[in-house]
């Protein structure tokens, strides 16, 4: 299924039906009077959150959505039927904006949440409503009002507790495949991940959290380099970021500290709030000898800074080394206070490995 996280659509609520001008004509009733019924109300356009959806693909190629109009009033005091509401299903985490003004209208994040985004027009009154003692034969009726019409920008921001960031080919997809049932595409070249991936991690058998792996960033992403900042919106809801650093990064100017600073610079350029989120730093590929040396250099550099993370975790997403300790730190950050215990030795071992 193709992943689509941003679309622009036009919605039009149904128009109200016109009131009728009609007369009661029956045998032996020479002056039956007005009998024009009311027009029906137009249908609303409603956005409804469907937890079974994970993309906005349904709206990529169909961008015009119109609800049914109300029927016109009829004779014999018959009112027109109301138009049916049009329900547009969207995935959880959809942000609705006015495409013209850019104003944020709603954040649809709860399953079952509904929002009337365009109100249907009101049906007009028929001439039977205007009869009075001094005007017993009104020859006018109300027209129905037009339904609302809007241009909308729909943006999907994934609902995840933890976001994994880092350079391309740092091992983010391998890590999420090891800690969850997510099966992203994995290969030995950069930009293998082209769309965000979600995975549910069960921590110590009693608690769980959702992890998002977004396509890798490179220096200059704010100017469109690589895949740019296109998918960083999916990290805005995350409570903590796992900054995965490639311990065996090849290339001129690359290194653990350089990569760490470059990614954080791109986060700040995209959103200062995103850059301020808690980060857990982990150096990957410690099964390669030079990765441990790179981790030690990064730890020394971070220890001299007054702000930001100072602890550096070592792991190998391929062999699984260091992953339990990393998950323990993520779990303690997400669920502060006493949590599910797995034994004191496991925690001490994790601290020893992290201190290497």
For 146-159, what is each residue's pLDDT tens digit? 999 999 999 998 88
**Whether residue 95 has pLDDT greater than 70:** yes
The pLDDT of 260-288, averaged and rounded, is 89
Report all structural domains of the chain as residue ranges with CATH numbers, in order of start.
1-156 (2.70.210.12), 162-354 (3.40.50.300)
**pTM, 2 dp:** 0.75
The pLDDT of 280-289, averaged and rounded, is 88
Question: Which pLDDT belongs to residue 349?
Answer: 34
The pLDDT of 293-309, averaged and rounded, is 86
Question: Which pLDDT belongs to residue 34?
Answer: 93
**Whether residue 111 has pLDDT greater than 80:** yes
Q: Lowest-pLDDT range, 31-40, 246-255, 276-285, 330-339?
A: 246-255
Tell me, what DSSP letter sits at residue 78?
B
**Whether residue 144 has pLDDT greater than 60:** yes
The per-residue pLDDT of the chain, averaged, comes to: 85
Question: Which pLDDT belongs to residue 354?
Answer: 42
**Whether residue 342 has pLDDT greater than 80:** no
**Whether residue 87 has pLDDT greater than 80:** yes
Q: How confident is the model at residue 223 (pLDDT cuts 50, 70, 90)?
A: low
Question: Which pLDDT belongs to residue 183?
Answer: 74
CA distance 230 to 109: 20
Task: Return the bridge partners of 163, or none.
Answer: 212, 241
Q: Lowest-pLDDT range, 17-21, 66-70, 203-207?
A: 203-207
Q: Is the dihedral angle over the CA atoms 1, 96, 209, 177 positive or is it negative? A: positive
Residues 6+ apart with CB under 8 A from 80: 17, 37, 38, 39, 40, 70, 71, 72, 73, 74, 123
**Whether residue 54 has pLDDT greater than 70:** yes
Query: What letters, b where the CB count within 10 A reaches 16 and e where it falls short, cover 74-112?
Result: bbebbbbebbebbebebbbbbbbbeeeeeeebeebeeee
Q: How confident is the model at residue 127 (pLDDT cuts 50, 70, 90)?
A: very high
Query: In the Cβ-directed half-sphere of 181, how many Cα atoms lie within 13 Å?
Result: 3
The pLDDT of 306-322, averaged and rounded, is 87
The pLDDT of 123-130, averaged and rounded, is 94
The pLDDT of 79-107, averaged and rounded, is 94
The pLDDT of 289-316, averaged and rounded, is 86
Question: Which pLDDT belongs to residue 19?
Answer: 95
- Higher pLDDT, residue 230 or 12: 12
**Whether residue 17 has pLDDT greater than 50:** yes
Question: Which pLDDT belongs to residue 88?
Answer: 96
**Whether residue 343 has pLDDT greater than 50:** no
- Higher pLDDT, residue 30 or 117: 117
- What percent of the chain lies above the pLDDT cut of 70? 87
């Amino acid at each position: 299924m193709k992943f689509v996280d941003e679309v622009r659509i036009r919605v039009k609520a149904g128009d109200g039906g016109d009131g009728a001008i009609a007369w009661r004509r029956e045998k032996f009733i020479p002056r039956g009077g007005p009998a024009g019924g009311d027009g029906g109300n137009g249908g609303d356009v409603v956005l409804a959150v469907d937890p079974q959806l994970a993309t906005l693909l349904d709206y990529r190629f169909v961008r015009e959505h119109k609800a049914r109009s109300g029927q016109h009033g009829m004779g014999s005091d018959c009112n027109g039927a109301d138009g049916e509401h049009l329900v547009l299903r969207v995935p959880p985490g959809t942000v609705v904006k006015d495409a013209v003004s850019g104003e944020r209208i709603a954040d649809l994040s709860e399953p079952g949440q509904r929002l009337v985004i365009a109100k249907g027009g009101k049906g007009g009154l028929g001439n039977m409503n205007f009869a009075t003692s001094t005007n017993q034969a009104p020859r006018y009726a109300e027209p129905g009002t037009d339904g609302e019409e809007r241009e909308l920008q729909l943006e999907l921001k994934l609902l995840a507790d933890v976001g994994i960031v880092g350079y391309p080919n740092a091992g983010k997809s391998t890590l999420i495949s090891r800690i969850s049932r997510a099966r992203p595409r994995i290969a030995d070249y950069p930009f293998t991940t082209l769309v965000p991936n979600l995975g549910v991690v069960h921590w110590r058998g009693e608690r769980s959290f959702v992890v998002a792996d977004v396509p890798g960033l490179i220096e200059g992403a704010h100017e469109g380099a690589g895949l740019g900042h296109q998918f960083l919106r999916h990290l805005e809801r995350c409570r903590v970021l796992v900054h995965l650093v490639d311990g065996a990064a090849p290339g001129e100017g690359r290194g653990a500290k350089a990569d760490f600073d470059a990614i954080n610079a791109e986060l700040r350029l995209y959103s200062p709030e995103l850059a301020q989120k808690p980060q857990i730093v982990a150096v990957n590929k410690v099964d390669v000898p030079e990765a441990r040396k790179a981790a030690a250099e990064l730890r020394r550099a971070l220890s001299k800074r007054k702000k930001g993370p100072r602890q550096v975790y070592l792991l190998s997403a391929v062999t699984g080394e260091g992953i339990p300790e990393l998950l323990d730190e993520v779990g303690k950050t997400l669920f502060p206070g006493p949590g599910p215990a797995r034994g004191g030795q496991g925690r001490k071992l994790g601290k020893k490995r992290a201190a290497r």
